Structure formats: C-alpha cells, structure tokens
Amino acid sequence: MGYLKTTVLMAAMTALFMGVGYLLAGLGGAMAALAAAAAVNAYAWWNSDRMILRMHNAQLVPPGDRLGLHALTAELSRNAGLPEPKVYLIDTPQPNAFATGRNPANAAVAVTSGLMRSLSREELAGVIAHELAHIRNHDTAIMTVTATFAGAISILANFALFFGGSRERLGLIGTLLMMFLAPLAAALVQMAISRTREYAADKAGAEICGEPLWLASALEKIAVGAARIDNHAAERNPATAHMFIVNPLHIHKHDHLFATHPSTENRIAALRDMAVRSRGVAPRSGQRSAVNNRLSSTHATKRSGPWS
C-alpha cells in the first residue's frame, strides 16, 4: 500500500510540473517542462549524495573505527541483503541520521556525533537499520527526485509573470495565484511522500535489526534531542530536512499536511504494536517489555575521543 501511495503521489508531482509548464506556454511548455525535469533529475540522481554530504560537512569514517560503527553497519547490511554503504560522521550535537545515494550500490549512511553519544549500541542498530531500509526501498532516490521536482516547480512558478501565455490563459490574478499555489502543492506532495516512506522504513528497519523496540527507544531520544539542540547545517539547508530520521528543524505533534515527518509518537506506537504482534502477547498495562528494560539498563555512557 505504501508503494502504491508513493507511485500515485509521484505521478501527481509529475502532472503538477507539466501543468505549470502548460499554463506558462501551452502544450509546448508542458513538453519542455517534462524534458527539463528529466535532465535536472538525472543530474540530481547522479550527484545529490555528494552535494548533501558536503552541505552537512560529513566526514568519511574509516573501516575499523574504534567505536565499531563500520562493523555494526556491515552486520546490519548483511541482514538487509545489501552491500555495505559508506559511513559518514557529521559533527553536530543534535542526535540524528540520514541515508543518501542513487541506489544500494552507491549509498551512504551519515550519523551525527550527538547520536553516537546519546544512544546505546542496540538503539544505534535500530537507527542504522532504518537508514538501510531507506536504501533497500530506494527511498533515497525517490526523495531526491521529489525534492528536485518541488524546487523546479517553484522556479517555474516564479517565472510566470515573464510568460505572456500564462497571463492570457489565467489573467493577472490567476497567474499570481499559480505562483503561490503551485509551489505549495508541490511541497505538500513532497511531504506526503516523505511521511509515507518513513513509516515503511520504520517497519523494514525493525525487521532488519530484529527488534522494533530498539528503534522505538532511539526515536524517543532523538526527538527530545532534536527539539532542544540546533542543527545549524540543517537550518542553512532546510530542503534536506526530509532526509533525516527525525525532523532536524522542529518537532511536529501531528501528521498534518505541512509535516515532513510522521508524528514521532505515532511511529513509536506502531513499532511497539509491531513488537507485541511479533511476540504474540500484549504486555500488561503500565509495564515495559523486557527488551525495553534492557535498553535502558545498557544505555551508553558519554563517549570520548574523535566522536566527542
């Protein structure tokens, strides 16, 4: 169902882009817009990972790192049936992570120094498994394409006043409305796709690491950290916010139209339900699972060294 919804939303994004081109310059404009979108997306598809990693000043983590980040990623990659992605570290105190890359063979996982300091090994495994799920589901490519479409629609709409055809078809008021409504519609579709893919990655990530409650516990801590600690690189590049496991800019309480991520509370509830179903029994009211208790008891202490 998630893939069907994503397909429908991607088709809507393409139709919106062509529609703006048509309103600007007729049928020829629609075809030109489609050709331009194909060219821009091809460029973004090949280069987006390097651009995004540079935006966040991500540093490549060498194999055999003493904190075992490569070893953990390699183990989870085998569980997911994926080649091991490159691993990067972002020096920011906010706990967060994202995946990027055009396909599983050219993928990267980036985690922040704040994440490394905040989570236990089990919780870190849940986060990396979630990012590997995005890679396996080709979400990194999907989100690159939707972000490129959204940006291109905004640029086209801002050119509307310079095209006589749009004023003849819509009039001045209609043209001004299109300049505002087309980018808004594109942003809403992009956000809806992002929310859909996060739920799917939570489920697949829990299956990859073998324990939904590891990711649920990690999401709780990341949400608290993201709410109170600034991520300056993300603030400078808000178009990349949808890539992170939790919104690095602000926390949304509900799955409303303008949210780039689902409600963290809803995601945690879904993961806990998944854990209950996998065990076949429901925990008693007011009690935490044995695994969740173990996560709390093994919470990592503050690490020193290059990740500090």
Cα torsion for 274, 203, 120, 71, to the nearest 10°?
A: 130
Placement of tokens 């008891």 in the chain: 297
Q: Shortest CA distance to 182 belongs to which of 174, 172, 192, 193?
A: 174
- Rounded to whole angstroms, the Cα distance separating 210 from 218 reads 14
Q: Which residues pair with 98 in a beta bridge?
A: 110, 244
Give CA separation, 285 vs 275, 289, 293, in Å: 15, 11, 15
The strand order across the sheet containing 107-112 reads: 59-60, 86-90, 107-112, 97-101
Task: Tell me which of 131, 207, 220, 265 is the catalytic residue.
Answer: 131
Q: Shortest CA distance to 111 belongs to which of 129, 79, 87?
A: 87
- Rounded to whole angstroms, the Cα distance separating 237 from 240 reads 6
Residue 131 among the catalytic residues: yes
Catalytic residues: 131
